Amino acid sequence: MQYQSTRGSAPTLGFEDVTLAGLASDGGLYIPESWPAFTSDQILALAGLSYVETAVRVMAPFVAGSLSEEELRELCTAAYGRFSHGAVTPLVQLDHQHWLLELFHGPTLAFKDVALQLLGQLFERFLSRRDDHLTIVGATSGDTGSAAIDAVAGRAKIDIFMLHPEGRVSDVQRRQMTTVRAPNVYNIAIDGSFDDAQALVKAMFNDADFSSRFNLSAVNSINWARLMAQVVYYFYAAVRLGAPERQVAFSVPTGNFGDVFAGYVAARMGLPVAKLIVATNVNDILHRALSEGDYSQGQVVPTATPSMDIQVSSNFERLLFDAGGRNGLALADQMRGFETSRAMRLTNAQREGAAHLFGSARIDADGMTMAMRWAYDGAGQILDPHSAIGLAAAREAALDPSIPVVTLATAHPAKFRDAVERATGTRPPLPARVGDLFAREESYAKLPGTFDAVTAYVAERATPRG
């Protein structure tokens, strides 16, 4: 499989290079040159397969040329063996039409584990082949940091430096990062906000010398391998609910558009997806883009769903490219315009290309609370705030009752205990496997939020190239 950039002027690359590169050299995102197509019989043959076997079948075409099926199976077995549920991503029924797909049974209780556990395995495999080394640098306001650290802790070819704003992530989130003891993991609490931490990371990547000396890499959701790993659970869930004979709809709590784009990929591969509902909180740029064609950036409003408090969705570019007719140079122009004016109109082709499959909804705090109560009262299910936004959008969509609607549950409710308690009156306990989180010893550096302080800290501890 070869991959091309959404902006039309970077070289096409194979899966191994795309995984290690992240962003394309022309500033675009990598996407397969064509979608592998599954026949009804191939989808039917997924019935009864384990998560790992489903993953091997669904991902094999994407990694062809870089990994054999046997290698892929080995990496998936290692990645998903760390999940605490035998089904890896189990389905739970809420009523006659609505279902939850629980994506939070990984080591850090967030759906990001599904992709990052595999990415950690892929990095290690590819770096060993090349005898190369990576330095991952990131800023986190919560979930991505802990999932990334867990995925690469103890790996010989990788060091990870994770910046978080001091005092501004929850206790659970901080401890999930700072209690990981491995010689290649460095947590840094920055005196400043999340935006300050992110600006520092950007500045390190923009310093060409520093960036190439330490082979800096990011683990954000623009990495194709992360998206690919997420395609699997759409197949896995839909097959259990009757695909390929029956259509299934999905509602996805959305931030950077990675998770829901994976659903689009599944549909392009032949999975009978009736609808993909993009659920946003009041930071609704995607809802405006999909319903009115207006992709214009507003101010970020902080909410109880921090992983969706986003005003630019990096993976949306992939949809604009594919649904809009795959014209990379035209899209590069359009994106440059957006980067200058922070606003753009979708073209008619982009709107029509998306309209077949996508619906969207903007859910405010009341809508979120009502969905949480509905799931708790009707099915005894405690939802985290992000999943509740997804469920509220799923119910609002009022689809034909013959179509099962699956809401993606993206975080364990215990990660957002205060918000859940406010809505339902119940404080969800931490699951037993992370129950000793508050007994473990923390370790992290506290640094001023300056470029010099942070680069000096990294340079002293990271492994230079060659």
Q: What amino acid is encoded at 446 in this protein?
A: K
> Applying CB under 6 A, which part among 152-160, 254-262, 337-345, 355-363 lies near ligand PLP?
254-262
CB nearer to ligand PLP: pick between 90 and 258: 258
Q: Which is nearer to ligand PLP, 253 or 367 (CB)?
A: 253
Q: Considering only residues 283 through 302, tell me which ones interact with ligand PLP, judged by CB under 6 A.
A: none
CA distance linking residue 84 with residue 51, whole number of Å: 13
Residue with token string 């070819």 = 157
Shortest distance, CB of residue 221 to ligand PLP, whole angstroms?
5
Among 173, 179, 221, 303, the residue binding ligand PLP under the rule CB under 6 A is 221
Supply the minimum distance, in Å, between the C-beta of residue 109 and ligand PLP: 9
Of the pair 215, 221, the CB lying nearest ligand PLP is at 221
Query: Of 376, 413, 368, which Cα lies nearest the Cα of 392?
Result: 368
Binder among 150, 259, 284, 317 for ligand PLP (CB under 6 A): 259
Query: Rg (Cα) of the chain, in Å, rounded?
Result: 21
Residue 303 tokens, joined: 């909410």
| Number of residues near ligand PLP (by CB under 6 A) | 16
Q: Would you say 6 or 184 has its CB closer to ligand PLP?
A: 6
Angstrom distances, CA of residue 205 to CA of 2, 128, 218, 417: 26, 23, 9, 35
The interface with ligand PLP within residues 370-389 (CB under 6 A) comprises: 386
* Nearer of residues 244 and 385 to ligand PLP, judged by Cβ: 385
User: Is residue 255 near ligand PLP by the rule CB under 6 A?
Assistant: yes
Minimum CB separation from ligand PLP for residue 386, in Å?
Answer: 4
- Looking at beta carbons only, is 16 or 143 nearer to ligand PLP? 143
User: Is residue 32 reached through a cis peptide bond, with omega within 30 degrees of 0 on the bond before it?
Assistant: no
Residue 56 touching ligand PLP (CB under 6 A): no
Nearest-angstrom CA–CA distance, 338 and 39? 39
Contact 389, 281 (CB under 8 A): yes
The CB-of-414 to ligand PLP minimum distance in angstroms stands at 12
- 244 counts as binding ligand PLP under rule CB under 6 A: no
Give the binding range for ligand PLP (CB under 6 A) out of 167-175, 255-263, 264-272, 325-333.
255-263
Over the window 405 to 424, marking each residue x when it contacts ligand PLP by CB under 6 A and - when it does not, the resulting string is: -----xx-------------
Q: Choose one: 36-44, 233-241, 251-259, 454-462; the region binding ligand PLP (CB under 6 A).
A: 251-259
CA distances 322 to 33, 261, 424, 461, Å, are: 10, 11, 41, 41
> 111 CB contacts (<8 Å, ≥6 apart)?
103, 104, 259, 408, 409, 410, 411
CB of 235 to ligand PLP, least distance (A): 18
CA 15, 17, 18 angle in degrees (round to 5)? 60
Nearest to ligand PLP of 319, 462 (CB atom): 319
Nearer to ligand PLP by Cβ, of 217 and 221: the residue is 221
**Residue 112 is among the residues annotated as catalytic for this protein:** yes
CB nearer to ligand PLP: give 388 or 458. 388
Instruction: Output the smallest distance, CB 233 to ligand PLP, in A.
Output: 13
Residue 216 C-beta: closest distance to ligand PLP, Å: 22
The catalytic residue among 112, 157, 275, 415 is: 112
Residue type at position 290: L
- Binding flag, residue 281, ligand PLP (CB under 6 A): no
Question: Binding to ligand PLP by residue 258, rule CB under 6 A?
Answer: yes
Site string for ligand PLP, 102-131 (x = CB under 6 A): --------x-x-------------------
Q: What residues from 138 to 157 belong to the interface with ligand PLP (CB under 6 A)?
A: 143
Contact assessment for residue 238 and residue 272, using Cβ atoms and an 8 Å cutoff: yes
Beta carbons of 20 and 217 less than 8 angstroms apart = yes
Q: Rule CB under 6 A: say whether 256 interacts with ligand PLP.
A: yes
Nearest approach in angstroms of CB 417 to ligand PLP is 14
Q: Which two tokens stand for residue 351?
A: 């709107």
So which residues are the catalytic ones?
Answer: 112
Binding residues for ligand PLP, per CB under 6 A? 110, 112, 143, 221, 253-259, 307-308, 386, 410-411
